[in-house]
Amino acid sequence: MTVGLLFISCVAMSTLFLSMALYVAMAIFLGGMGWRIYRWIRTPVPLKIVLTPGPQKFPGVLRRLVGELFGFRALAKADRSLWTPAWLFHVSLLLLFLGHLGGLVIPHLAQTTLGLNEKQFEDMAQVVGSAVGLLAITMLVWLLIRRLLLPRVRWISTFSDYFALVLLLLIIATGNAMRFMGGLNIIQAQRFVAGWWTLHPVAPPRDPIFAVHLLLVCALLIYIPFSKMVHIGGAALFSPTLNQRNNPRQQRYVNTWEKNNGNSTASS
């Protein structure tokens, strides 16, 4: 029994397994998202269905989309008690993403940009990273509680909605756990990521939590393209109610799939 577990965890933490899992997950994620986005773009929009009053010119459309993408403006209009956790959660997610990018994927990027020495940087990463992680966890818990307690939202929730929240909670919790337990060797993690990235996998840090964290991330990557999580592809950008110009009378809008368009079919 114990031997078995030990064996499984050894395999799980081995260079090959973790790296391969991440390759597979990343391929599914990129391929899946590419396919979904390609399908959205390819599908025609037969009519002008922009929500009015809407912008008539492109800069206005850009402002509308940026407002939705970065400010969640519609959500703010709808419900402040949803906007707050949703927005803070997404911001913390963005910061965590940038943190991983600047601290792990491109080593020294954040450190040199901020002009810190190795020690200072590690201290900062420790504090800021943990704080943002905690913020994200708090917001996720808030969203989860909201989902469970608000009867209307509970009514519409499916397994997938809880699954996404719990999965994220676990990912961020394991991320923070590595820091709090002080077990993680950042340099080893950087080497692992650099090796993976350049297709020369090296051994991951010898920390079971790291393996769990990474495998959960793989699960998330695979899950995203096939669930409501596809919205991370910037769904608002493709949404005709938001991305069209409100100018049907200034410029003729053509339905691309209707061949015999026009007034030749006059009855009477």
Name which of ligand HEM, another protein, none residue 165 binds, using a CB cut-off of 5 to 8 Å depending on partner kind: ligand HEM
**How buried is 147 (Cβ within 10 angstroms: 0-12 exposed, 13-18 middle, 19+ buried)?**
middle
Nearest CB to ligand HEM, comparing residues 110 and 217: 217
Task: Convert residues 82-101 into a mask of x (bound to another protein by CB under 8 A) and - (unbound).
Answer: x---x---------------
Residues 138-177 that bind ligand HEM (CB under 6 A): 143, 161, 164-165, 168
Q: Does 112 interact with another protein (rule: CB under 8 A)?
A: no
SS3 labels along the chain = CHHHHHHHHHHHHCHHHHHHHHHHHHHHHHHHHHHHHHHHHHCCCCCCCCCCCCCCCHHHHHHHHHHHHHHCHHHHHHCHHHHHHHHHHHHHHHHHHHHHHHHHHCCCHHHHHHCCCHHHHHHHHHHHHHHHHHHHHHHHHHHHHHHHHCHHHHHHCCHHHHHHHHHHHHHHHHHHHHHHCCCCCHHHHHHHHHHHHCCCCCCCCCCHHHHHHHHHHHHHHHHHHHCHHHHHHCHHHHCHHHHCCCCCCCCCCCCCCCCCCCCCCCCC
- Alpha-carbon span 246 to 61, nearest angstrom: 9
Residues 148-167 that bind another protein (CB under 8 A): 150-153, 155-161
Residues 171-230 that bind another protein (CB under 8 A): 226-228, 230
Q: Does 231 interact with ligand HEM (rule: CB under 6 A)?
A: yes
Residues 2-61 that bind ligand HEM (CB under 6 A): none
Alpha carbon 66 to chain centroid, angstroms = 17
- The residue within the footprint of ligand HEM, chosen from 136, 236, 242, 244 (CB under 6 A), is 236
Q: Does 60 interact with another protein (rule: CB under 8 A)?
A: no
Judged by CB under 8 A, the number of residues near another protein is 61
Q: How far is the CB of 183 from another protein (least distance, A)?
A: 34
Name which of another protein, ligand HEM, none residue 43 binds, using a CB cut-off of 5 to 8 Å depending on partner kind: another protein
Q: Using CB under 6 A as the criterion, which residues of the chain lie in contact with ligand HEM when the complex forms?
A: 69, 72, 75, 86, 90, 93, 143, 161, 164-165, 168, 228-229, 231-232, 234-236
Q: Using CB under 8 A as the criterion, which residues of the chain lie in contact with another protein when the complex forms?
A: 36, 39-40, 43-49, 51-54, 68, 72, 74-75, 77-79, 82, 86, 150-153, 155-161, 226-228, 230-231, 235-236, 238-242, 246, 248-249, 252-255, 257, 261-263, 265-268
